[in-house]
Copies of this chain bind each other. A is one copy, B any other.
Amino acid sequence: MIKHVSLAVVKRLPRYYRNLLHLRKQGFLKVSSGKLAEVMDITASQVRQDFYAFGGFGQQGYGYDVDKLITNIANILGIDEKHRLIIIGAGNIGRALAGYQGFAKDNFEVIALFDINVNQPDIAGVPLLSMTELDDFVNNNEVDIAVITTQSKVAADIAHKIVSLKIKNIWNFAPVDLDVDEDVVVENISMSESLYVLSYKINQYKKSKDE
């Protein structure tokens, strides 16, 4: 029933989800593809095509039930299930993530933060452990996702280490392309790449004005 879903569609799901939560808060019980398209600034056709890829959640002549849509998207994204994270690298970003309170509402829980240096302030509620304790910890706790927030030069080694400990899901903040087996799931997020793209857009805009 579910057709092949492209990554282009998947990447829109978080925005659908966020906007649907917002619509529900505003009191909407149902929403049409037209309305959702307007909110998302895409075409109604794309909205229908996107949901069609997952089997279609709507009712002809009526629209889409907001609650049902939210439940389904949460299920497709897998955020209706609990995920336990460990963060490797207690630098600026690692510490920021460890202290972020917003993960809980999406069923993500940070259960430990690792670094070679444990002589630094604690993060409320998240133990800061030494890298030497990593093996033990992973063997005695269920860990779903490892977050890499180390320096780039050690990221590849860390990734290898993590995978050897049977953690097959990596959220990578280091600006390197990790080379892992195909049974390992990696999602990269790169602040510098995002900033470069912003810089490009600024540059283009400047040039277009100068003409």
Q: Chain A interface (Cβ within 8 Å of chain B)?
A: 10-11, 13-15, 17-19, 40-41, 76-79, 81, 83, 92-93, 95-97, 99-100, 102-103, 106, 108, 144-145, 168-169, 171, 175-177, 183, 185, 187, 189-203, 205-206
Contacts and interface: CB of A to CB of B under 8 A. Distances in A.
A38 B10 CA distance: 27
As for how many copies of this chain the complex holds, the number is 2
19 contacts: A10-B200, A11-B197, A13-B196, A40-B177, A41-B177, A76-B203, A77-B199, A77-B203, A79-B196, A102-B192, A106-B196, A169-B198, A171-B195, A183-B205, A185-B202, A185-B205, A187-B195, A187-B198, A189-B189
A90 B76 CA distance: 34
Nearest to A41: B177
Contact of A197 (B14, B18, B100): B14
Given A96-B93, A185-B202, A189-B191, A14 B78 contact: no
A10 B197 contact: yes
A14 B192 contact: yes
A209 to B, nearest CB: 9
A105 B68 CA distance: 48
A3 to B, nearest CB: 13
A101 to B, nearest CB: 9
A210 to B, nearest CB: 13
Contacts of A191: 97, 189
